[in-house]
């Protein structure tokens, strides 16, 4: 999931008509896990968008099948400006994530597995720091809210969590023992830390479970304390800001699953869960107030939208088409700090190149596609957590 550069903005982007079905021919040929089923149609969002916030931030992305992180300086309004491309290593590449303070971007190439910290400069440029070797293929990275601890998920099978700690200079070290998820069939894990920093939640694809860990005061992990059933290919745990509810997407079940989170961090499924999504749902985003959840669907191209009710249940909102062209699908998403703009990264099958688009969020939570903001960063194949937003 790392890629490079050449930007084509609203004025210089290529617009190819794909209605003749050509876009279906090269749909993500290198996907590691995925199978297509029936496409769920979406509705066009029509609500008036909220007034955008002009504060700036940075967006970084890479491609699963290309080398290099590409950056943009962006805001809720106005055209993004390119930062440039930083090589990271040959493909395939999966995870990237930024430290909570926005000072460092961490990238983990799958070849010669290692965690590479990059210091983020004043203009958004990336300067590498000393990498940390990893024991297996890196799949995901998530950070604790304390700003110094992080957890790297490694392994396609026999998966484990590598606790790491980084200092103010971006120097990263392993922080205690590698903790196995617990089953030989655990693997391809994606994770999230609770807002109180007390629990780590890992969705394991082959075992179809969410594994719950306690995080100790020193940043190390307990053994698995709970395993709860997910659907087929559970991915990307996402927790409400108040820590009361957790959501996962089930890639091959085409659903979003909702859980209540108890005081001790254990999970129980919300009544009425799971909820329908589109085909092959992937990296979701939530508004900072915890009211709305958005799920890109790489098989059906639409972005599913939901209102989060007080009891953790989801109420479906109108979906938004990622792109007006047939077959150009969405995969990953990030939320702007204001909660008024969603950025989504997808793939145009013609050349497998990535496409970045901006959506405004209406007062009622519905999405409106910004037709003026379509960027081709020159990266190839959106798959996994390949998109990161960092406050400037």
Q: Does residue 39 lie in a domain region?
A: no
Which CATH number goes with the domain that contains 162? 2.130.10.10
Q: Between these two residues, 222 and 350, which has the higher pLDDT value?
A: 222
Residue 3: inside a domain, yes or no?
no
Round the CA-based radius of gyration of the chain to a whole number and report it. Answer: 19
Does residue 372 belong to any structural domain of this protein? yes
C-alpha 171/C-alpha 299 separation (Å) is 39
**Is 25 part of any domain?**
no
Task: Give residue-wise pLDDT tens across range 187-212.
Answer: 999 999 999 999 999 999 999 999 99
Q: What is the pLDDT of residues 19-73, one digit of tens each?
A: 333 333 333 333 333 333 322 333 223 333 344 455 999 999 999 999 999 999 9
| 48 domain residue, yes or no | no
State the DSSP code for 289: T
- pLDDT average, residue stretch 248-257: 98
Residue 334 within any structural domain of the chain: yes
Candidates 11, 35, 13, 10; CA nearest to 353 is: 13
What's the pLDDT score for residue 31? 36
pLDDT in the model for residue 97? 96
pLDDT of 214 higher than 80: yes
Which among 305, 351, 297, 356 is positioned nearest to 329, based on CA atoms?
297
pLDDT at 188: 97
Query: Average pLDDT for residues 80-88, to the nearest whole number?
Result: 95
Is the model more confident about 153 or about 23? 153
Q: Is residue 17 part of a domain?
A: no
Q: 350 falls in which pLDDT band (50, 70, 90)? A: confident
In a domain, 49, yes or no: no
Minimum mean pLDDT range among 99-103, 162-166, 319-323, 324-328: 324-328
Q: Which residue has the higher pLDDT, 318 or 40?
A: 318
The C-alpha atoms of residue 114 and residue 136 are separated, in whole angstroms, by 9
Range(s) of the domain holding residue 307: 61-391
Nearest Cα residue to 47 out of 340, 310, 279: 340
Read off the DSSP letter of residue 273: -
Show the tokens assigned to 267: 């999970």
Share of the chain above pLDDT 70, in %: 86
Tell me what the mean pLDDT of segment 258-270 comes to. Answer: 98
Q: What is the DSSP string of 37-76?
A: -PPPP-----SPBPPPP--EEEEEE--TTS--EEEEEEES
| Number of domains, the chain | 1
3-class DSSP state of 205: coil
**Quick one: pLDDT at residue 4?**
32
Task: Give the per-residue pLDDT at 349.
Answer: 87
On whether the CB atoms of residues 160 and 179 are closer than 8 A, the answer is yes
pLDDT computed for residue 218 by the predictor: 97
Query: What is the structure's pLDDT at 193?
Result: 98
- Minimal CA–CA distance to 210: which of 274, 304, 277? 274
Q: What is the pLDDT of residue 352?
A: 86
Please give the mean pLDDT across all residues of the chain. 88
The yes-or-no verdict on residue 342 having pLDDT over 50 is yes
Alpha carbon 285 to chain centroid, angstroms: 7
User: 24 φ, ψ to 5°?
Assistant: -80, -15
């Amino acid at each position: 999931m790392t890629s490079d550069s050449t930007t084509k903005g609203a004025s210089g982007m290529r617009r190819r008509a794909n209605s003749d079905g050509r876009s279906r021919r090269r749909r993500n040929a290198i996907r590691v896990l995925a199978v297509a089923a029936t496409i769920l149609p979406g509705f066009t969002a029509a609500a008036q968008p909220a007034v955008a916030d002009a504060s700036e931030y940075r967006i970084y992305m890479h491609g699963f099948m290309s080398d290099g992180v590409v950056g943009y300086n962006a805001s809720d309004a106005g055209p993004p400006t390119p930062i440039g491309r930083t090589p990271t290593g040959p493909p395939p590449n999966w995870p990237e994530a930024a430290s909570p303070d926005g000072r460092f971007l961490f990238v983990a190439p799958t070849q010669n597995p290692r965690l590479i910290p990059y210091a983020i400069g004043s203009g958004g440029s990336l300067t590498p720091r000393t990498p940390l070797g990893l024991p297996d293929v890196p799949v995901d990275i998530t950070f604790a809210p304390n700003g110094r601890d992080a957890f790297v998920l490694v392994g396609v099978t026999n998966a484990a969590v590598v606790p790491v700690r980084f200092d103010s200079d971006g120097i990263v070290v392993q922080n205690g023992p590698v903790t196995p998820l617990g089953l030989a069939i655990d693997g391809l894990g994606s994770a999230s830390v609770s807002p109180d920093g007390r629990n780590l939640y890992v969705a394991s694809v082959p075992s179809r479970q969410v594994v719950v860990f306690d995080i100790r005061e020193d940043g190390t992990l307990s053994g698995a304390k709970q395993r709860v059933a997910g659907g087929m290919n559970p991915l990307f745990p996402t927790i409400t800001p108040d820590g009361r509810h957790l959501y996962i997407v089930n890639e091959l079940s085409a659903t979003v699953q909702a859980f209540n989170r108890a005081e001790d961090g254990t999970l129980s499924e919300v009544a009425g869960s799971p909820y329908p999504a589109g085909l092959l749902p992937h990296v979701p985003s939530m508004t900072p107030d915890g009211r709305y959840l958005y799920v890109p669907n790489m098989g059906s191209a639409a972005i599913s939208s939901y209102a989060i009710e007080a009891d953790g249940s989801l109420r479906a909102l109108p979906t938004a088409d990622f792109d007006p062209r047939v077959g150009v699908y969405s995969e990953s998403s990030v939320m702007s700090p204001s909660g008024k703009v969603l950025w989504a990264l997808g793939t145009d099958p013609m050349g497998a190149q990535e496409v970045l688009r901006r959506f405004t969020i209406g007062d009622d939570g519905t999405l409106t596609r910004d037709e003026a903001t379509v960027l081709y960063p020159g990266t190839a194949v959106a798959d996994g957590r390949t998109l990161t937003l960092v406050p400037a």
